[in-house]
Amino acid sequence: MIFRYLTRTERILLVLMLALVFAQVYLEFEIPGYMSSITDVLTSYGTPDDIAPYAWRMMLCAFLALGALLANRLLVSYVASGLACRLRSLEFDKVQSFSSADINRFSAASLITRSTNDITQIQNLLTIATVVATKAPLMVVWGLYKILGRGWEWTLATAIGVVLIILIEMLMIFIVVPKYRKMQWLTDNVNRETSEHLAGMRVVRAYNAEAYQRRKFDKANDELTGTALFAARSLSVLNPMMFAVQNILTLSFYILGAVMISAASMPDRLVLFSDMIVFSSYAMLIVVAFILLGDITVIIPRAAVAARRVSEIIEYEPDIRDGEVSESPEGIRGEVEFRNVSFRYGDGGYVLKDISFKAMEGETVAIIGSTGCGKTSLVNLIPRFYDADEGSVFVDGVDVKDYRLDVLHSKIGYVPQRATLFTGSVSDNVNFGAGSSDRTEDDVRRAVAIAQGTEFVEALEGGYDGSVSEKGVNLSGGQKQRISIARALCARPEIFIFDDSFSALDYRTDRDLRDALRRETAGTTTIVVAQRVGTVMDADRILVIDNGELVGNGTHRELMEGCPVYREIALSQLSEEELV
């Protein structure tokens, strides 16, 4: 199934590779023939000169076989690494289109193992198994053809040897293969523990939870190690057993040969001796073929699991599918409407119930409500991180599900609740995403200025080129928030979504930022989630969410009069006088 992803050239190369395997086996099987001829010459007291032509041909065969093997390996590794690279990028692209729900379904740790370890397994399979799988059967058939009719005693011995090897391989399949399958899932666990531990290092330190984390990691690690060890130990017992069979077989050829030769009379003895040499060489090749087949019976199921895990991703139909609309209707700009929207995570209870409201162009709509009431869930429906279960969300009069995702996203400047920064410079982080090449250094400065970040950015070593480390750990919470806000501003979208994006700012910076926003981004629709009444008071409209329901929709004044939930929140934060 994974072969589907090979290009035409690669398929042609694979066929060429098969031809090379064929050539190699042919050449290798010529060698025992020459050996027998040489034995004939020797036993009939020939001179070295009589041997020379056979010896030369034998060497030529050996070198040509080596050449074929080398060429084969080169081809196969070229094809295998090409495929691995393609699978990785296909997987990366697919994951890019995943919604948050899709990512949760597979788990980030598993996605990482699937695009690293699993693809390596497939690559290994292709490098080893394609060669072996063609070579081994070829060797068996050819070998049988060469030895048939050369003495039933030896044939019987070979048959017994092969049966023993097959039995050992069956043991392998039953004992080792299931463990190998399990290892893939256990690797996911180790990855998850590691990444969670690294991300949460500070908390772990602060709570002296190292021992706890260690135990969790040890559990995952021991399980993986135990399984891997079991598999390796079983193989380390079974593999030598196969070689033992091989050696005992050689020995029995010679014992049988000795008995047969001593029973025969003179001219027959020489024939028997030469037959014995030829037979044992071919029989060994057959036995080796079976041993090789044993090796791949272990690799194939492991790679098959990997292939299934990889294609599960590549062929996954993401929940969120691209629409077709690439332009919104003339004359409407920056309009957001929710019509009877209900939403829940998976099969859980409804997190949002029957929400309807409309934000007109240039309006500032604030959303307030107690923690966990569904504010983030609500705004996440606008850029389609999730899709509404009932009802529809419209942007500029078009259902968000009908937009091409890139078009929809280019209309929205989204600032998440938790600022997310990337490794790179401050400028790289602010001037981010599609269209970044059209924006200038001045746009970056302006955006940072509105986000009230000029002062701290210029104080950074390197200023706008100063570096932001992985996840922005070298910046404070408020600094990260401001860069994240500047990123949205820099993109000059039609609609801003600020999800509690001012929470880490002190009151003064919060106020200055909102003033600057109002001045500089007039005409841009703004949806702002906030916990502080002070932050939302001057919004054009305030939506009050309580337990997933819209319980208030109006201005500060109206809500103070008519919405008890709002009044309660407001009074818990500010005094009566401050609120007018």
351 is an interface residue for ligand M5T by CB under 6 A:
yes
Backbone CA torsion sign across 490, 491, 492, 495: negative
Tell the smallest beta-carbon distance from residue 107 to ligand M5T (Å). 13
Q: In terms of CB distance, is 132 or 529 closer to ligand M5T? A: 529
Widest CA span of the chain, in angstroms? 125
Closest by CA position to 395, among listed 493, 486, 541: 493
How far, in Å, CA of 247 to CA of 241, rounded?
Answer: 10
Distance CA 218, CA 226 (A): 11
Region from 8-16, 152-160, 196-204, 366-374 binding ligand M5T, contact rule CB under 6 A: 366-374
Q: Does 213 bind ligand M5T (CB under 6 A)?
A: no
Closer Cβ to ligand M5T, 72 or 484, answer by number: 484
Q: How far is the CB of 386 from ligand M5T (least distance, A)?
A: 8
Question: Under the criterion CB under 5 A, does residue 297 sit at the interface with Mg ion?
Answer: no
294 binds, among Mg ion, ligand M5T, none (CB under 5 to 8 A by kind): none
Question: DSSP labels for 225-261?
Answer: HHHHHHHHHHHHHHHHHHHHHHHHHHHHHHHHHHHHH
| Smaller CB separation from Mg ion, 373 or 513 | 373
141 Cβ contact list (under 8 Å, min separation 6): none
Shortest Å distance, C-beta 555 to ligand M5T: 21
Report if residue 370 touches Mg ion, rule: CB under 5 A.
no
| Listed residue (527, 511, 510) closest to 411, CA to CA | 527
Shortest distance (Å) from residue 212 CB to Mg ion: 28
The interface partner of residue 288, options being ligand M5T, Mg ion, none and the CB cut-off 5 to 8 Å by kind, is: none
Rounded to whole angstroms, the Cα distance separating 167 from 173 reads 10
* Whole-angstrom distance, CA of residue 353 vs CA of residue 340: 8
Q: Record the tokens describing residue 139, joined without a space.
A: 């060797």
Question: Which of the listed partners (ligand M5T, Mg ion, none) does 331 bind, with a CB threshold of 5 to 8 Å by partner kind?
Answer: none
Distance CA 373, CA 21 (A): 66
Which lies closer to Mg ion via its Cβ, residue 164 or residue 419?
419
Cβ proximity to ligand M5T: between 107 and 376 the closer is 376
- Closest separation in Å from C-beta 503 to ligand M5T: 9
Beta carbon nearer to ligand M5T, 354 or 512: 354
Residue 155 interacts with ligand M5T (CB under 6 A)?
A: no
Contacted by 193, from Mg ion, ligand M5T, none: CB < 5 to 8 Å by type: none
When binding is defined by CB under 6 A, the residue of 371, 437, 572, 575 that contacts ligand M5T is 371
Residues 410-439 that bind Mg ion (CB under 5 A): 417
Residue 374 in the binding site for ligand M5T (CB under 6 A): yes
Does position 531 bind Mg ion by CB under 5 A?
Answer: no
Nearest-CA neighbor of 91 among 312, 303, 314?
Answer: 314
Residue 371: which of Mg ion, ligand M5T, none does it interact with, CB under 5 to 8 A by kind?
ligand M5T
Positive/negative CA dihedral, 59, 62, 65, 69: negative
**Which among Mg ion, ligand M5T, none contacts residue 563 (Cβ within 5 to 8 A by kind)?**
none
Closest residue to Mg ion, Cβ-based?
A: 376
What CA–CA distances, in Å, run from 219 to 193, 210, 212?
A: 10, 14, 11
Residues paired with residue 394 on neighbouring β-strands, in sequence order: 337, 399
Task: Give yes or no for residue 456 binding ligand M5T (CB under 6 A).
Answer: no
Buried b (16+ CB within 10 A) or exposed e, 189-205: bbbbbeebbeeeeeebe
Interaction of residue 234 with Mg ion, rule CB under 5 A: no
Query: Residue 482: exposed, middle, or buried by beta-carbon count in 10 A (0-12, 13-18, 19+)?
Result: buried
Decide if residue 547 touches Mg ion (CB under 5 A): no
Element (H, E) at 142: helix 130-147
Find the shortest distance in angstroms from Cβ 376 to Mg ion. Answer: 3
Q: Return the SS3 of 506.
A: coil
Instruction: Give whichever of 226 and 477 is closer to Mg ion, judged by the CB atom.
Output: 477
Q: Which does 575 bind (CB under 5 to 8 A by kind): Mg ion, ligand M5T, none?
A: none
Q: Which of 25, 72, 47 is nearest to 289 (CA)?
A: 25
Nearer to ligand M5T, 149 or 348 (CB): 348
The rounded distance, in Å, linking the Cα atoms of 509 and 516 is 10
Q: Cα–chain-centroid distance for residue 105?
A: 13
Which one of Mg ion, ligand M5T, none interacts with residue 257, CB within 5 to 8 A by kind? Answer: none
Asked if residue 375 binds ligand M5T (CB under 6 A), the reply is: yes
Q: Is 572 in the site for ligand M5T (CB under 6 A)?
A: no
The verdict on 376 binding Mg ion (CB under 5 A) reads: yes
Residue 114 contact, options ligand M5T, Mg ion, none, Cβ 5-8 Å cut-off depending on partner type: none
What is the phi/psi pair of residue 387, to 5°? -105, 145
Q: Is 348 in the site for ligand M5T (CB under 6 A)?
A: yes
Contact map string, positions 296 to 335, toward ligand M5T, x by CB under 6 A = ----------------------------------------
Contact 433, 355 (CB under 8 A): no
Instruction: List residues binding ligand M5T (CB under 6 A).
Output: 345, 348, 351, 369, 371-377, 417, 500
